Chain A
C-alpha cells in the first residue's frame, strides 16, 4: 500500500567529506548546490552530520591522515546509504597515485557505488552521479542490519563433536535469512 522506499529517492541528504583533496572538487560540489545548478530541487540538503545523511560524497585520494576518519564517518551513517566518489583522485588516486602517503582511491577502504570522473569534475557530472546514486539507494535493502549466525548445528556422532562442515556457505545464508 504505502511504499516508503520510493520516498528515499525524493529526499537524499548528503554528507561531504574531503579526504585530502586539492579543494577543486569541493568547490564544484558547492557550486552544484548554489543557485545556478540548484541541487536542492531534488530535495538535497547538505547536512554536516553523518547520522542523518543518505549519500556520502568523498573527494580526494585518501591520505594517511584521513583514512581513519573516512571509515569512521562511513560506519556512523545509518543504512541505507550510498557512497559516491567525486573526482579522479577519489576514484583511482589520480595524479597522486603511487605517492608514499596516498592510498589510491577510497574503494580500498569503503565500498563505492558511483564513480564520478574528472579533474576537477563538473557540476553537471556531479548532478548526474547523484541521480544515478539515487537509483541505487532505492534498490538497497536494510538486510545488512539483520543479524544471523554463520554456523550450523554441530553434529555429534558417537559422543564425538564433529565441527567439520558446520560453517554455512554464502548461498545458504541468503536462503535462510
Chain B
C-alpha cells in the first residue's frame, strides 16, 4: 500500500526536492532565492498558459517521456529488476530525443544530438552499476538488493563513476551541455509550450527521484546511510554546480567515458576475481 502512495506522490516529492535545491543554490550565492513551492507555482501558471502544438507526434512523444519515466520510478519503488529499470529509462530518453527530432527547429536538433551523445557517456556506467550489484547480491532484483547490507564499500569506484552521472541527468554544471540554458535555448524542450511543457518540467522532477533512488541502492538496508548519502550528494552536486562552468560536449564524453569506464571496469574485475 505504501508503495502505491509513494508512486503516486513521486512527482510531488521531486518538485519539493527541486524547489529546495533552488533555495539551497540561492543561499550558496548569498541571496534570498525563490520560495520553496516555486516549482508548483510554475506548474499552475503553465496550466493557465496558451499552448502551441507544433505537430501531434511532438506533444505525444513529450507526454510519453513523462509517463515512461514515471513507470521507471514505479519499477524501482516496487523492487523490480534493475536491468529493466536501466533500459526502460533509456526508452524514456529515446522518446525525448525523437520529440526533439520531430520538429524543424535547429536548436531542438542540436539538443537531441547532445542528448544522444550524453547517453553514450552515461549508459555504460548505469549498466556496469547493475552488473556490480548482480555480482555482489547474486540478483538483479532491487527488492533483494535493498534487503542486503550496504554495498558502498565494495562498489566504491562504481559509486565515484555514478557521481559523474548525477550532474548529467540533473542538468547541472559542469555537465549541462545537453540543456545549455541560454546557449541552445533548452535544447529539446524549446518547442514545448504551455501545458505540454509542463510534462517535461515534471519529468525533470522525476529525474531527481530516479537518480536519488538509484543512489539509495548503495545504502542497502541501512536507512541512516541512505539519508547521509542523499544529503552529502545533494550538497556536493549543488556546490559543484555553483562553482564550475559548463564544459563542451566532447570533453564531457571524454571525461565521463574514460574515468567512468576505467573506474567501473576496475571495480567489476575486483569483484569478480578478488
Contact = CB atoms under 8 A, between A and B. Distances in A.
A4 B44 contact: yes
B50 A48 contact: no
Interface string A62-103: 000000000000000011100000000000000000000000
Contacts of B193: 51-52, 78
A50 to B, nearest CB: 9
A11 B52 contact: no
Interface in B1-38: 22, 26, 29-35, 38
B32 A41 contact: yes
B185 interface: yes
Interface of A: 4-5, 7-8, 10-11, 13, 35-36, 38, 40-43, 46-49, 51-52, 54, 78-80, 142, 145
B45 A7 contact: yes
A78 B49 contact: yes
Given A47-B186, A52-B192, 14 more contacts: A7-B44, A10-B35, A36-B31, A40-B22, A43-B34, A49-B189, A51-B190, A51-B191, A51-B197, A52-B197, A78-B194, A79-B49, A80-B50, A142-B48
B190 A49 contact: yes
A35 B33 CA distance: 9
10 contacts: A4-B44, A11-B38, A11-B42, A38-B33, A43-B42, A51-B190, A51-B192, A51-B193, A78-B51, A80-B48
Given A43-B38, A79-B50, A142-B50, A10 B185 contact: no
B232 interface: no
Given A7-B41, A51-B192, A78-B194, A38 B32 contact: yes
Contacts of B41: 7, 10-11, 43
Contact of A5 (B48, B186, B190): B48
